[in-house]
Amino acid sequence: MKIIVSGGGTGGHIYPALSFIKYLKTVEPNLSVLYIGTQKGLESTIVPENGIEFKTIDIQGFKRSLSLENIKTVYKFVKSVSDAKKIIKNFKPDVVVGTGGYVAGPVVYAAAKLKIPTIVHEQNSIPGITNKFLSRYVTRVALAFQEAGTFFPSNKTVFTGNPRAQEVADLIESGNVLSQYDLDGTKKTVVIFGGSRGALKINTAVLEALPELAKKDYQILYASGEIYFNDPEFAATFAAYNQEKNIKIVPYIKNMVEVLNDATLILSRAGATTLAEITALGLPAILVPSPYVTADHQTKNAQALENAGAAISINNAELTGQRIVQAIDSLLLDDQSYRKMAENALREGVPDASQRLYGVLKDVVNGQ
């Protein structure tokens, strides 16, 4: 099988694609994969590092307000469609899959115009502009959240979950990962992070919470983000509390999936990839949706889990150190509430998401 995958801009579009490719390699021994992204996006570094053939096109996103830049964007879109067609004709794929981000737009659109089977995968409960545009042309729309189905043609949608979930669910335990952070693997552990770059609001609230958290029997692993870890406003306090036995503060957690596998509770933003990971593990969560994302989709993502009894959601503007401590205590000091939330989280997980998406892919390739 020959497949082209396109998606980029953020890890939320890239990592599900990589997870699916990883799965495909286990079920398609003669698989040939080409990934199309942009030179400036995260995908230009991450994809080649994973040993996947990578080509680029030049494209940028539309501005949401009237702007002369949009004229340039239209020109780039037309040219990138032409460039994508050349790449597609040369590679001759059986199917093209888009996982979101503006780079997927011209690639999947070009494939559809060339009558090649196409799929877009929507990770969020509220879809982005690119996938809504492409839904008119593609063969199938795969959903990670059932709630997103209302935005797409019903005859094209199919619920698959997020491929990242299956990769996490299939993870082989790698021993006491927490010891790498000088933490006790036998203690209840709360992982707190605000995304790869960190989040100012979460950092400020954690700073307020540290005096109380240092007194607890449970332990904290906090990833502040590189910018905040070295910021004079936070650095001295972080360094001081790093001396506490039950607190470890780091700029970034590279082996996040393995860490979450050993965690008891997570406090984080509500990005689609994170939610796929924690539900696959049945990990209760305290979610603080970012208000700075398109269409406030993280709030909708968090509400979906909260409605299922799988998470607690706290509005970004209302987050304080006191709220953090109260929310953590409400779960870790109440075994019944914790167990119920863990069961609900696991129920929301889709541990066979890649397998489901592969079934959709086989159907469109076979003309079904």
247 annotated as a binding-site residue: no
Contact 123/148 with Cβ under 8 angstroms?
no
Contact 92/72 with Cβ under 8 angstroms?
no
Half-sphere exposure of 139 (CA within 13 A, CB side): 23
298 annotated as a binding-site residue: yes
| pLDDT at residue 23 greater than cutoff 90 | yes
10 annotated as a binding-site residue: yes
Cβ neighbourhood burial of 299 (10 Å; 0-12, 13-18, 19+): buried
Contact 286/275 with Cβ under 8 angstroms?
no
pLDDT of residue 169: 86
Supply the pTM of this predicted model.
0.85
37 annotated as a binding-site residue: no
What domains are defined for the chain? 2-169+351-365 (3.40.50.2000), 177-348 (3.40.50.2000)
The edge-to-edge listing of strands for the beta sheet with 265-268 is 247-250, 219-223, 189-193, 265-268, 285-287, 311-313
Q: What would the two tokens of residue 202 be? A: 């979460």
Q: How confident is the model at residue 176 (pLDDT cuts 50, 70, 90)?
A: confident
12 annotated as a binding-site residue: yes
124 annotated as a binding-site residue: yes
pLDDT 10s digits, 293-345:
878 889 999 999 999 999 999 999 999 999 999 999 999 999 999 999 999 99
pLDDT of residue 171: 78
